[in-house]
Amino acid sequence: MKLAELQAEYAALVIREGVNLRPGQRLVINCPVEGAYFARLCAKAAYEAGCREVLMNWKDDTLTRYKYLYAADDVFDTVNDWEVQMMNTVSGEGAAWLAISADDPENLKGVDGDRLRRAQISRGKALEIFRKREMRNDFPWCVCSIPTVAWAKAVFPEMDSGDAVLRLWEEILKACRVEGPDAAPKWKAHTEELKRHIELLNAYNFHHLRYINSLGTDLTVELPQGHFWAGGDEKAASGVRFSANIPTEEVFTLPKREGINGRIVASRPLSYNGTIIDGFWFTVQNGKITEVHARQGEEVLKNAISVDEGASYFGEVALVPYDSPISQSSVLFLNTLFDENASCHFAFGSAYPCIYGSENMSEEQLKELGMNTSMTHVDFMVGTRDLQITGTTYSGKEVPVFVNGSFAF
């Protein structure tokens, strides 16, 4: 198939299997202006699936950078009422949301870190209703990616722009299993394989996990009672199954908020808020990050874990085999959607409510069980070829979960 045909197949995949759009449902698409051609493909696939209306939110890296460099200072402490009203209204009706993630990894390098921190805090507070609905899967949502020139050049700096974009398209389509006209069946088969690991992990019902590797990670992670593992596709409040990430290779759950202790070392750089953070590690005591060190981007990382109290605790533990297709590509994507699916990872900040019966529990009840809450959720990678993870059950039985970076079962 030609590239244009594969792009159309990819757009159909994110509409049919990503957000799994239903007839009569509205769709919101967040997209960079450089990716307008792909947004049109997604909109066409959505209308063919019976979409009531496609609503577009456009963004532009250059204008975003100008804003952080030159806008009035008080802009970063407020959020426009019309934006809050739109997001709350449309999410409240159960509309589907598609985010096309394609930022320049270093677009905001050198901007005022305090402006970034304050903007995140103000948006986190103003959009609390929307954020909680998304974390609870009140509506179907999906994140996918397409190349932009700046991103492609960051990943393949030795290539000219055109070749870099084509190469990044090749890697993205391969990672998403879009290699012909049968992308949807391949995607469904992949999600079924993820469910096999989920069923085994849920059957073990581990009390805690121990992580060790040669980078220096030595961490014990307690899991809350009643937790479950998830991954592949998920269920929205309407009962519709959807895939929140395309691609995805992870199975995940939540850690107990105050149940993590030790040292955790990142294995890949993190692109966060338009800045590259590299060579970083945390010391964690009773769940809280007490020390932060980074070779590059340390100030940005310290700001990221201080936007609120929950930002310095953890909300996700995710398992990804080192031999996953994205890892085997040997490409450092500088995009969390891809890099987190090449490596076991954690997220500091808010947790997804992976606790049996959570849909009938209050926020306070979930907190009592150990679920962390925050206005942020930031994934970072820790997996290596020599990562060893040992699970311990409530009866004290030790079970190898990862051996040499991949699943032991």
252 and 370 housed in the same domain: yes
165 and 254 housed in the same domain: no
399 and 288 housed in the same domain: yes
* pLDDT single digits (tens) 67-86: 999 999 999 999 999 999 99
26 and 162 housed in the same domain: yes
138 and 8 housed in the same domain: yes
379 and 313 housed in the same domain: yes
Question: Which of 139, 159, 175 is the last residue before a domain boundary?
Answer: 175
**pLDDT recorded at residue 365:** 97
Confidence at 55, pLDDT banded by 50, 70, 90: very high
**pLDDT recorded at residue 118:** 97
Beta carbons within 8 Å of 185's beta carbon, 6+ residues apart: none
Contact call for residues 54 and 15 (beta carbons, < 8 A) = no
**pLDDT recorded at residue 38:** 98
Confidence at 362, pLDDT banded by 50, 70, 90: very high
Task: Let me know if residue 67 belongs to a domain.
Answer: yes
- Token pair 């999600």 is at which residue? 191
Identify the CATH number of the domain in which residue 83 sits.
3.40.1830.10
123 and 213 housed in the same domain: no
* pLDDT single digits (tens) 298-318: 999 999 999 999 999 999 999
273 and 369 housed in the same domain: yes
266 and 304 housed in the same domain: yes
- CB atoms under 10 Å from CB of 3, counted, come to 11
Give the rounded percent of residues in the chain with a pLDDT score beyond 90.
99
Confidence at 59, pLDDT banded by 50, 70, 90: very high
* pLDDT single digits (tens) 83-124: 999 999 999 999 999 999 999 999 999 999 999 999 999 999
**pLDDT recorded at residue 94:** 97
164 and 282 housed in the same domain: no
Burial of 313 (0-12, 13-18, 19+ CB in 10 A): buried
Task: Let me know if residue 51 belongs to a domain.
Answer: yes
Cα–Cα distance, 220 to 211 (Å, whole number): 6
Task: Let me know if residue 238 belongs to a domain.
Answer: no
Confidence at 34, pLDDT banded by 50, 70, 90: very high
Q: For the residues 371-400, what does the mean pLDDT come to?
A: 98
* pLDDT single digits (tens) 182-218: 999 999 999 999 999 999 999 999 999 999 999 999 9
Cα–Cα distance, 20 to 233 (Å, whole number): 10
| 3-class SS string, the chain | CCHHHHHHHHHHHHHHHHCCCCCCCEEEEEEEHHHHHHHHHHHHHHHHCCCCEEEEEEECHHHHHHHHHHCCHHHHHCCCHHHHHHHHHHHHCCCEEEEEECCCCCCCCCCCHHHHHHHHHHHHHHCHHHHHHHHCCCCCEEEEECCCHHHHHHHCCCCCHHHHHHHHHHHHHHHCCCCCCCHHHHHHHHHHHHHHHHHHHHHHCEEEEEEECCCCCEEEEECCCCECCEECCEECCCCCEECCECCCCCEEECCCCCCEEEEEECCCCEEECCEEEEEEEEEEECCEEEEEEEEECHHHHHHHCCCCHHHHCEEEEEECCCCCHHHHCCCCCCCHHHHHHHCCEEEEECCCCCECCHHHCCHHHHHHHCCCCCCCEEEEECCCCCCEEEEEECCCCEEEEEECCEECC
Task: Let me know if residue 342 belongs to a domain.
Answer: yes
Total structural domains in the chain? Answer: 2
Task: Let me know if residue 188 belongs to a domain.
Answer: no
Task: Let me know if residue 191 belongs to a domain.
Answer: no
Question: Which of 160, 175, 190 is the last residue before a domain boundary?
Answer: 175
* pLDDT single digits (tens) 152-190: 999 999 999 999 999 999 999 999 999 999 999 999 999
Task: Let me know if residue 184 belongs to a domain.
Answer: no
Q: For the residues 349-354, what does the mean pLDDT come to?
A: 98
137 and 213 housed in the same domain: no
**pLDDT recorded at residue 354:** 98
Cα–Cα distance, 306 to 376 (Å, whole number): 10
368 and 226 housed in the same domain: yes
Provide the domain limits for residue 228. Answer: 203-232+246-407
Task: Let me know if residue 31 belongs to a domain.
Answer: yes
Give the rounded percent of residues in the chain with a pLDDT score beyond 70.
100
**pLDDT recorded at residue 106:** 94
Cα 188 versus chain centre, distance? 20
